[in-house]
């Protein structure tokens, strides 16, 4: 081989290696999370998600997690999200994910929830880098901010920004069709309690974005339980209720004479919603579906 050709090939090889290095460096990212900062030198490809909103975020940028804390029920991940991703390995419940199963998946990133998994951070970190975000108690804008962080980490910043913008525009459009000044309440109706979600929660924040006035925090609590008398005092124009039990407390209240004095009873503006979607899911896809349901309910009146 001639010296000239050998020199040319060496130069091309160096250029190729340099390009590969630049490509790898281009995926290097540092983000702030609830543990401080997380730095990755390349985009992760084997991700374990320990909350449903994290799965929603990944699905929206075309990434399938290899493991999900799905509470041992595939259906806990809402169907529209499931349709966007490949089947995953269950790593147990969100409250107590199985560390051995997670380790067996050989992940290169674990996305964990601050309130549920902070105590297990060091144990998780021994398996893979951990992105720690507060999904469980995140408000509407908090979750969208978290989605963008996830997009940045997986090398899909532009795509995630576009998805968030699309959702925001959709919500703004629906809000413009809703009569202003109305009050609304989202609550999770259990056997003996109604847990009201304030504007600081994901569902409450979405209702606020749609133009409704929602309950404020009480005693610093984003979610608090109320009785029928309290509901009467608030007397919202709309109630969106997720029944956690067939014999839920709101269904019991509906049989009482006091209930009939409520605006939602007189104007038939009590809307039953899916607890999995409204109370557990959170995320871009979840918000879009919830907004559609609010729009459909309002259009009936």
Boundaries of every domain in the chain: 23-167, 176-299
Pick the CATH number of 176-299 from 3.30.200.20, 3.40.50.1980, 3.20.20.10, 3.40.50.720: 3.40.50.1980
How do residues 59-85 score in pLDDT, each as one tens digit? Answer: 999 999 999 999 999 999 999 999 999
Q: Please check the confidence at residue 39 and state whether its pLDDT lies above 70.
A: yes
Name every residue whose Cβ is closer than 8 Å to that of residue 109 and which is 6 or more positions away in sequence.
40, 44, 46, 47, 48, 128, 129, 130, 131, 153, 154
- Across the chain, mean pLDDT equals 92
The pLDDT value given to residue 245:
85
- Mean pLDDT for the stretch of residues 115-125: 96
Question: CA dihedral defined by 134, 137, 141, 146, rounded to 10 degrees?
Answer: 20
How many other CB atoms are found less than 10 A from the CB of residue 73? 10
Q: Which residue has the tokens 């290696």?
A: 17
Name every residue whose Cβ is closer than 8 Å to that of residue 52 and which is 6 or more positions away in sequence.
76, 77, 78, 81, 94, 135, 280, 281, 282, 283, 286
Q: Would the pTM count as exceeding 0.85?
A: yes
Q: Supply 107's token pair.
A: 């992940």
pLDDT band at 24 (very low <50, low <70, confident <90, very high): very low
The pLDDT value given to residue 295:
98
Q: Please check the confidence at residue 16 and state whether its pLDDT lies above 60.
A: no
For 4-61, give the DSSP string: HHHHHHHHHHHHHHHHHHHHHHHT-EEEEETTEEEEESS--SSEEE-SHHHHHHHHHT
The pLDDT value given to residue 7:
41
What is the CATH number that goes with domain 23-167? Answer: 3.40.50.1980
Answer for the pair 241, 205: CB distance below 8 angstroms, yes or no: no
Q: 239 forms bridges with which residues in the sheet? A: 185, 270
Half-sphere exposure (Cβ direction) of 119: Cα atoms closer than 13 Å: 5
pLDDT band at 26 (very low <50, low <70, confident <90, very high): low
Q: Please check the confidence at residue 8 and state whether its pLDDT lies above 90.
A: no
Q: Do 176-299 and 23-167 fall under one CATH topology?
A: yes
How do residues 174-223 score in pLDDT, each as one tens digit? Answer: 999 999 999 999 999 999 999 999 999 999 999 999 999 999 887 778 99
**Alpha carbon of residue 252 to chain centroid:** 31
Q: Please check the confidence at residue 225 and state whether its pLDDT lies above 50.
A: yes
Helix axes 157-175, 284-299, angle to 10 degrees: 10
Query: What is residue 77's DSSP assignment?
Result: S
pLDDT band at 1 (very low <50, low <70, confident <90, very high): very low
- pLDDT > 70: what percent of the chain? 91
Three-state DSSP at 223 gives strand
∠23-25-29 over CA atoms, to 5°? 125
Q: 218 forms bridges with which residues in the sheet? A: 221
The pLDDT value given to residue 217:
80
Name every residue whose Cβ is closer than 8 Å to that of residue 107 and which is 6 or more positions away in sequence.
44, 46, 47, 48, 66, 67, 127, 128
The pLDDT value given to residue 267:
96
Q: Please check the confidence at residue 15 and state whether its pLDDT lies above 60.
A: no
How do residues 129-149 score in pLDDT, each as one tens digit? Answer: 999 999 999 999 999 999 999
Alpha-carbon span 135 to 17, nearest angstrom = 40
């Amino acid at each position: 081989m001639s010296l000239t050709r050998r020199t040319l090939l060496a130069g091309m090889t160096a250029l190729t290696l340099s390009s590969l290095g630049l490509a790898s460096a281009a995926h290097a990212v540092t983000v702030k999370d609830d543990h401080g900062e997380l730095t990755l030198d390349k985009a992760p490809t084997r991700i374990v998600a320990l909350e449903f909103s994290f799965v929603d975020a990944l699905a929206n940028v075309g990434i399938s997690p290899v493991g999900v804390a799905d509470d041992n029920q595939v259906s806990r991940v809402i169907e529209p999200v499931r349709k966007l991703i490949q089947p995953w390995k269950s790593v147990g419940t969100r409250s107590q994910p199985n560390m051995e199963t997670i380790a067996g998946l050989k992940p290169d990133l674990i996305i964990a929830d601050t309130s549920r998994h902070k105590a297990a951070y060091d144990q998780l970190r021994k398996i893979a880098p951990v992105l720690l975000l507060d999904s469980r108690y995140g408000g509407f804008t908090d979750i969208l901010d978290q989605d963008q962080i996830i997009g940045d980490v997986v090398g899909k910043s532009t795509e995630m920004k576009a998805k968030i913008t699309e959702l925001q525009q959709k919500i703004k459009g629906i809000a413009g069709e809703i009569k202003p000044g109305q009050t609304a309440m989202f609550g999770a109706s259990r056997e003996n309690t109604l847990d009201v979600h304030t504007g600081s929660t994901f569902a409450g924040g979405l209702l606020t974005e749609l133009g409704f006035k929602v309950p404020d925090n009480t005693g610093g609590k984003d979610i608090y339980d109320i009785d029928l008398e309290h509901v009467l005092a608030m007397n919202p124009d709309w109630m969106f209720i997720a029944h956690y039990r067939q014999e839920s407390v709101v269904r019991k209240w509906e049989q009482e004479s006091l209930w009939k004095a409520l605006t939602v009873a007189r104007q038939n503006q009590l809307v039953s919603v899916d607890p999995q979607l409204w109370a557990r899911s959170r995320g871009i896809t979840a918000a879009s579906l919830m907004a559609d349901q609010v729009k459909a309910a309002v259009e009936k009146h």
